Amino acid sequence: MIELAAKYLGIGYNGKMELIEYYNAKCYPFIASNRKYKMKPSDNWCAMFTTVIAHMVGLSADEFPYEVSVWYQCEIAKKRGLYFTDVNMAKPNDLIIYNWGKTNRYNHVGFVVSVGNGMVRAIEGNKSNTVAYRSLRADNKMIRGFISTNYNPVDELPVVDVDLRIALLAVAVLKGRLGDGSERREKLGRDYQAVQDLINM
Please give the Cα distance from 7 to 4 (Å, whole number): 5
Please give the Cα distance from 86 to 84 (Å, whole number): 6
Residue spans per domain, the chain: 2-147, 164-199
pLDDT at position 131, please?
A: 97
Q: Is 70 helix (H, G, I), strand (E, B) or coil?
A: helix
Strand partners, 112: 122
Which CATH topology does 2-147 take?
endopeptidase fold (from Nostoc punctiforme) (3.90.1720)
pLDDT at position 156, please?
A: 42
Give the residue with greater pLDDT, 144 vs 155: 144
With residue 127 as reference, give the H or E element that holds it: strand 119-127
Q: What percent of the chain has pLDDT over 90?
A: 68
Give the residue with greater pLDDT, 19 vs 172: 19
In this predicted structure, the answer to whether residue 33 has a pLDDT above a threshold of 80 is: yes
pLDDT at position 61, please?
A: 93
CA distances from 97 to 20, 25, 107, 141, 154 (A): 21, 26, 7, 11, 26
What is the biggest distance separating any 2 CA atoms in the chain, rounded to whole angstroms?
53
In the DSSP assignment, the letter for residue 24 is I
pLDDT bucket at 194, cuts 50 / 70 / 90: confident
